[in-house]
Amino acid sequence: MSSKKDKGLSVKDIDKRFADVQALASVSLDVQEGEFFTLLGPSGCGKTTLLRIVAGLEMPDTGRVILGGQDITSLPATKRQVNTVFQSYALFPHLNIFENVAFGLRARRFPQDEVKSRVNRRLEMLGLQDMPERLPHQLSGGQQQRVALARALVNEPEVLLLDEPMSALDARLRAQVQVELRRLQRKLGQTFILVTHDQAEALVVSDRLAVMRQGRIVQFGTPKEVYEQPKTPFVAEFLGAANLIQGRRLNEGVDTDIGFFHLNSPPAWARGSVAIRPERIRITADPPEKNGVKVHVREAIYRGTNLDLWCEPGPLRVRTAAQYNYEPGEEVWLELPPEGLVILDE
């Protein structure tokens, strides 16, 4: 085990039940120091429960939480060098911005001048230096979010937890905040763990991410790995659009209802699925050399940045550049290149 890993966060074989719901089932993961890690999954998949267990706000039924080589499973939230940005921000409504940010330092009885300098530095870093006297309800959603971030970061936690911090922001601001958050994390070099159900957000900010479903982690990897090499139909469809094609293994490829497709490696199963992203399908006027399907366009949706086609048989979703024009009813050839076809595990 490298020393870098020792300073990170490990979660080992966590189980958690709420009454009749298995929230987490033997979940394990390692987050390295300085990494931006994301737990991605639909609502109810257990990602927030896992975050709360790391924060110490929830106790696991079994399993361990290890931070910097130390077992902190039984430590309460008050004693953990971990801070959280809550989904609702949970700013103290009766305290002004300065006092909100100073809360953690005051609780640990830092001397007054150090509280002042540390809080002011964070307020400045997040562009809040002009409003230390304001109360939370006098701020916009984006400002409140930055106060919540400052309030957590001022404690210099070993791990910063973010529970869907952007879900309350509008789409435009969210996109901007995602980039800012990523920059901030790179600059500080601190470990961030983000919980989100927004796959685009997860791809933008993360160094690595874990996709969760029904209390289990179904896939780990960098955004690129998880997006381009999904292991299951669930992951393929949860991260962006995907065409799932079922078939039987035949020699080096797969035989399906819409034709035979060559693959780069033979599948491990006899019957199973392959997936291909809409943007990986090429449209050609003439029949391609291999992996071609003759289709007619059922629907063409102009999206500004690109053009989405729904084609029969399939239906196959195809994404192409917006300058092309295809009309419903038009017949075209599609090429599903082997490097775009992903063999799924099941």
Partner 1 sequence: MLWLIVFLVLPGLVLIAVSFATRGAYGQLEWVFTVENYQRLSGFSLFGWTADYIMIVLRSVWVAFITTLISVVLSYPLSFFISARPERSRYFWLTLVIIPFWTNMVIRTYAWFLILAPELPLAKLATFFGFIPAGSPLYPNSFAVYLGMVSMYLPFVTLPLYASVERLDWTLVEAAQDLYASKVRVFMQAILPQTLPGLSVGIVLTFVPAMGMFVVPDLLGGSKYMLVGNLIQQQFGASRDWPFGAAISMGLMVLTMISLQFYRRRSKEIEFV
- Nearest distance in Å: CB 40, partner 1: 22
- Nearest distance in Å: CB 169, partner 1: 18
Check residue 302 for interaction with partner 1 (CB under 8 A). Answer: no
255 Cβ contact list (under 8 Å, min separation 6)? 247, 248, 249
- Nearest distance in Å: CB 133, partner 1: 12
**Pattern 41-60, partner 1, x by CB under 8 A:** --------------xxx---
Least Cα distance to 38 among 214, 236, 226, 277 occurs for 226
Check residue 250 for interaction with partner 1 (CB under 8 A). Answer: no
- Nearest distance in Å: CB 112, partner 1: 16
- What distance in Å separates the CA atoms of residue 107 and residue 286, rounded to the nearest whole number? 72
Least Cα distance to 63 among 49, 55, 53, 77 occurs for 53
- Looking at the Cβ atoms of 78 and 265, the one nearer to partner 1 is 78
- Looking at the Cβ atoms of 75 and 250, the one nearer to partner 1 is 75
From residue 255, give the alpha-carbon distance in Å to each of 229, 244, 245, 274.
20, 13, 10, 11
- Nearest distance in Å: CB 336, partner 1: 48
78 Cβ contact list (under 8 Å, min separation 6)? 56
DSSP letters of 62-122?
EEEEEETTEE-TT--GGGSSEEEE-TT----TTS-HHHHHHHHHHHTT--HHHHHHHHHHH
Q: How many residues does the chain have?
A: 346
Q: Binders of partner 1: how many residues, by CB under 8 A?
A: 25
Check residue 222 for interaction with partner 1 (CB under 8 A). Answer: no
- Nearest distance in Å: CB 77, partner 1: 4
Burial class (CB in 10 A: 0-12, 13-18, 19+), 245: buried
- Nearest distance in Å: CB 325, partner 1: 52
**Pattern 57-96, partner 1, x by CB under 8 A:** x------------------xxxx--xxx-x-x-xxxxxx-
170 Cβ contact list (under 8 Å, min separation 6)? none
- Looking at the Cβ atoms of 84 and 291, the one nearer to partner 1 is 84
Q: Which amino acid is at 71?
A: D
For tokens 């192409």, what's the residue?
320
Check residue 168 for interaction with partner 1 (CB under 8 A). Answer: no
Q: Which positions from 98 through 127 interact with partner 1, judged by CB under 8 A? A: 103-104, 107-108
Q: What residues line the site for partner 1 (CB under 8 A)?
A: 55-57, 76-79, 82-84, 86, 88, 90-95, 103-104, 107-108, 151-152, 155
